[in-house]
Chain A
Amino acid sequence: MSDAVTREKRLLQTFASLADTLVDGYDVVDLLQLLVDSCKDLLDTTEAAILLADANGDLDVVASTSEASRIVELIQLGAEAGPCVESFHTGTVISVPDIRLSPDRWAHFRDVALSEGFASAHAIPLRLRENRIGTLNLLRDAVGELELQDEVTAQAFADVATIGILHERTLRESSMLTEQLERALGSRVVIEQAKGVVAHMRGIRVDEAFGLIREYARAHRIGISRVAEQIVDRSLTIP
Chain B
Amino acid sequence: MDSSFTAAMEALERSPDGPDGLAAPFVSVFPVTGASVSTLGDLLGSETLAATDEFSAHMDEVQFDLGEGPCWDAMRSARPVLMPDVRTGAPASWPSFAAAIDSERLGSLFAFPLRLGPLRIGAIDLYSVKPVRFDRDQARQAGAMAEVVSRQVLRHALEGVEAAERPSPLSRRVIHQATGFVLAQLDVSPEDARLVIQGHAFATSRSMMEVATDIVEGRLRFTKGIGGIEAVS
Contact = CB atoms under 8 A, between A and B. Distances in A.
Contacts of A195: 177, 180
Given A196-B179, A197-B181, A200-B181, A206 B216 contact: yes
A193 B169 contact: no
Nearest to B178: A196
Given A58-B169, A60-B172, A206-B216, A192 B183 contact: no
Contacts of A59: 169
Contacts of B170: 72-73, 76
Given A193-B183, A206-B216, A232-B183, A61 B178 contact: no
Contacts of B168: 58, 76, 80
Contacts of B178: 196
Contact of B169 (A60, A194, A198, A199): A60
Interface residues of B, number: 18
Given A192-B176, A192-B177, A206-B216, A197 B184 contact: yes
B216 to A, nearest CB: 6
A61 B190 CA distance: 21
Interface in A166-212: 189, 192-201, 206
Interface in B129-184: 168-170, 172-173, 176-184
A198 B173 CA distance: 15
Interface residues of A, number: 24
Interface string A72-94: 11001001100000000000000
Interface of B: 168-170, 172-173, 176-185, 187, 190, 216
28 contacts: A58-B168, A58-B169, A59-B169, A60-B172, A60-B173, A72-B173, A76-B169, A76-B170, A79-B169, A192-B180, A193-B176, A193-B179, A193-B183, A194-B180, A195-B177, A196-B176, A196-B179, A196-B181, A196-B183, A197-B180, A197-B181, A199-B177, A199-B181, A200-B180, A200-B181, A200-B184, A200-B185, A206-B177
